[in-house]
Chains A and B, each alone.
Chain A
């Protein structure tokens, strides 16, 4: 069990207009837990990608829903949980494709997941049917 745990939450309407606010929220927490500028930028990108996916795919670009971003800091990790109540979509079912192949198919949908998986140390998805979807992304903290 971690000896301490701090949780921060942001709940925003499901509009891409709010992605900038989400990135600011993530960046502030990243700085607070000691990540450097480049690492903070990557964390903000990963959460942006996850939330953009929710807005586009889970909610079909309807801005009338909510996206909750929860950041949990403990002794060893910074964890982001992206929670929505839209259509469930399991990224684990998606096969990563080469960018060249995506270009040929005129698809850019696989890029965000590829970035998330590159940036974060662990990514998990949980669907509670009819209730909520939760994407968990974990980044190990740097030890000083």
Chain B
């Protein structure tokens, strides 16, 4: 079966942008996990997850954000989220993610947030 999830990687200034496209579930989460690991190994610790084309997320996808965020923040970086659709946002909201992650309307705003310094803590 063809994969129904893709990640396009790019840059917004000095910030690494991972554009998520499709369904992020227990089947596709390892793909996202690998992508974040590769970025970390490449020294890219300031990341924006562009969720504009993310049509679905389950706890497996949320778990990827959770499992890396502490390590990334300890190393001085952060993952910020951008452009989440209302349908996907409600899943983040149920689990209290807005209190733990910076969530911005656009990728540009999320990237600019890095320049402001500071980040959410838990």
Contact = CB atoms under 8 A, between A and B. Distances in A.
Given A103-B69, A111-B95, A115-B94, A41 B27 contact: no
Size bin of chain A's contact surface: 20 to 34
Contacts of A103: 66, 69-70, 100, 122
A114 interface: yes
Interface string A53-94: 001100000000000000000000000000000000000000
Contacts of A23: 56
B55 to A, nearest CB: 10
Given A19-B25, A19-B26, A108-B63, 5 more contacts: A19-B27, A52-B59, A103-B122, A109-B63, A112-B60
Cβ-closest 8 pairs across A and B: A108-B63, A111-B59, A16-B27, A52-B26, A112-B59, A100-B122, A16-B26, A99-B96
Interface of B: 1, 4, 23, 25-27, 56, 58-60, 62-63, 66-67, 69-70, 87, 90-91, 94-97, 100, 122
